[in-house]
Structure 1
Amino acid sequence: SDAVLLEAGIQRAYCLLAASDSDSGNTYIVLTAKALNPRLFVVARAGQAASATPMLRAGADRVISPYSIGGRRMALSALQPLMVDFIDTLATGRHGEQILAELEASEESGLAGMTIEGCFQTCPGATVLAVQKASGTTQVGPRGTTVLELGDRLIVLGDEAELEALRPTPPAEPAEEATPERV
């Protein structure tokens, strides 16, 4: 309900996972959440393939079918087991000091307008695996001469400390003055 989502802080939220076991319930959650926060990024679970379209119409940004994913994974495990193991390794996020990270070419990051090669001079061990252009097209294994545009998103494998230096730091919230009630 609206009240539950508002109490949970939906208006301040960045994303929402609608993961109940009811497709109609998830569609309603998506519709309600998007009405309360149109900028919200919503990922919804669909048990039936036919439920994906109504969820997308309701405002879901992504619809995930665990059965479809499971079936593809089983087939890949049988046909290309090393690739599945590699994807699992990447998905865990940490590989020694290496991490898989998603970066955005935004005004805050300073990456927009630069080439990939120029952006990563301070990260010599980083590998840009893909760039999703603001238009929605994805370049896998982009060249170093690729110019990043505002809104482009990168998937990078690299040293955690080096990659963190490329992330914009959020603005500090103003400090609240201490009052006798808070001391």
Structure 2
Amino acid sequence: MNKKKVWEGNVRTISIAMSSLVLAVLVGTLGFMLINDAYTFIDALYMTVITITTVGFTEVHPMTDGGKLFTIFLILISFGIFGYLASAVTRFLLDGVFRRNLKDYRIVKSIDKLNGHVIVCGFGRNGKQACIELLEHGEQVVVVDSEESSIDKVRMFPELLFVQGDATQEEVLSSANIAAAKAIITAIPNDAENVYVVLTAREMNSSIKIISRSEKSQSDHKLKRAGANNVIMPDRLGGQQMAKLVVQPDVVEFLDNILLQSTQGVKLEEVSCKDLAVCFIGKSIRELNVRDKSGANIIGLKDEEGVYIYNPSPEIVLDKCFHLFVLGNKEQVGNLMQLLLNGK
């Protein structure tokens, strides 16, 4: 059964039980006042409460036969109401709905505090794998999916935050704190929905990086026109990977070992030069002396025009628009970043 319906059903049951209890108190109060004129409102309310709760204190005024019969009636209906309320509250707690919704409330608060996180829309095979890779690299991830079954799978990953809803809707992406996110991955199987998500995301955050999945080759250009920075076709990538394993198996495995491993060991990292130390502006890669000072190796770069240069010449002059591709372990890459920032 849909957990939202379970929650709504339990809340409705408890509301009915509470309303019945309030109604019983009102009926009891009015009944005692009508049966015996000596009862004030406070007296009648007091008698009703001690009768319903079966506390058994002495009556405020002597009971007539009519008052005794009314008291018996009030006790009987109150037993039924309390039993109904107790079963409703027990079912509410045993179903785990209260605990789950309390956890969801805390998740909402956690998402509101995020900054520089990654949003993954769709928790299918591709979306799930993307989340696992992002978590291994220390990224904060928020999953957006409309399916209850998918959200149940997300709950199995304590590190993942989530929003249940349609990612094409602005309010849903807003709940995922898209304004503070650095990237969004749209891994929904439907290309049309991915286009809507890309359009909405680009409108809500003009600087966000958007990676989109595409099932059909003709959707590639549409997604890029909608605002996607990169479009991935899983079937095409799978075919290319298999072909390369035939032609260049060792090269593919070598690159996979570098790219697909977690933060441990050697990795290929992109390093921006936007905060390049003043002493390195106008200097060449040779003068940076990367290998000796950090232990890392610069194996490529992307210049200000977006052109990729592989195995760049040591004579290339550094620029703040450059992005360097560096090979090294975590410590070596960290040393290089410090070198670029501080000049030493």
Task: Name the residue aligned to 1:154.
Answer: 324
Question: What SS does structure 1 have at the residue aligned with 2:203?
Answer: helix
Instruction: State which of 120, 145, 159 in structure 1 corresponds to 2:315.
Output: 145
How is 1:83-122 mapped onto 2 (pairs within 5 angstroms)? 83-93=251-261, 97-106=265-274, 108-110=275-277, 112-119=281-288, 120=290, 121-122=292-293
Equivalent residue letter for 1:139: I
**Equivalent pair of 2:258/2:266 in contact (CA under 8 Å):** no
Q: Which residue of 221, 224, 237 maps to 1:53?
A: 221
Q: TM-score of the superposition, structure 2-length normalised?
A: 0.46
Aligned partner of residue 84 in structure 1, secondary structure: helix
Tell me if 1:134 matches 2:304: yes
**Aligned-partner Cα distance in 1 for 2:211–2:299:** 23
> Residues 113 and 150 of structure 1 are in contact (CA less than 8 Å); yes or no, is this contact kept in structure 2?
no
Partner residue of 1:36? 204
Once residues 283 and 173 of structure 2 are traced to their aligned partners in structure 1, the CA distance between those partners, rounded to angstroms, is: 40
Q: Percent identity?
A: 28
Query: Would the alpha carbon gap of residues 93 and 117 (structure 1) be closer, same or farther in structure 2, given more than 3 Å must change?
Result: farther
Superposition deviation, residue 154 in structure 1: 1.1
1:93 positional shift: 4.1
Q: Once structures 1 and 2 are overlaid, which stretch shifts more, 125-134 or 89-98?
A: 89-98
Checking the alignment, whether the CA contact within 8 Å between 1:129 and 1:140 is kept in structure 2 is yes
The higher relative CO (CA closer than 8 Å, separation ≥ 6) is in 1
Gaps of 5+ in 2: 1-168, 339-344
Check conservation: 1:94, 1:100, Cα contact below 8 A. no
Deviations 1:68-99 (A, max 9, x none): 11111111011111111111111124697432
Amino acid at match of 1:23: D
* In structure 2, C-alpha distance between the alignment counterparts of 1:24 and 1:152, rounded to whole Å: 35
Match of 2:245 in 1: 77
How many pairs does the alignment contain? 166
Tell me how far 1:143 sits from its aligned partner: 1.4
Equivalents in 2 of 1:30, 1:91: separation in Å? 26
Task: Name the structure where strand makes up a greater proportion of residues.
Answer: 1
Contact 1:122–1:162, Cα closer than 8 Å, also in 2: no
Question: Are 2:264 and 2:330, in contact at CA under 8 Å, matched by a contact in 1?
Answer: no
2: CA distance between counterparts of 1:42 and 1:87?
24
CA–CA distance in structure 2, aligned partners of residues 90 and 40 of structure 1: 26
The alpha-carbon deviation at position 65 of structure 1 amounts to: 0.5
Residue 151 (structure 1) shift: 1.7
2:111 aligned partner? none
Q: Is the 8 A contact 1:14 1:41 kept in 2?
A: yes
Q: 164, 186, 195: which is aligned to 1:18?
A: 186
The one-character-per-residue Cα deviations of 1:101-158 (angstroms, maximum 9, x if unpaired) are: 110111x2426533222331412x3221111111111110001121121221111112
Distance 1:93 1:164 in 2: 17
Q: TM-score, normalised by structure 1?
A: 0.84
CA distance in structure 2 between the aligned counterparts of 1:150 and 1:57, rounded to whole angstroms: 28
* Higher helix residue share: 2
Secondary structure of 1:30's counterpart equals helix
Letter of the structure 1 residue corresponding to residue 335 of structure 2: A
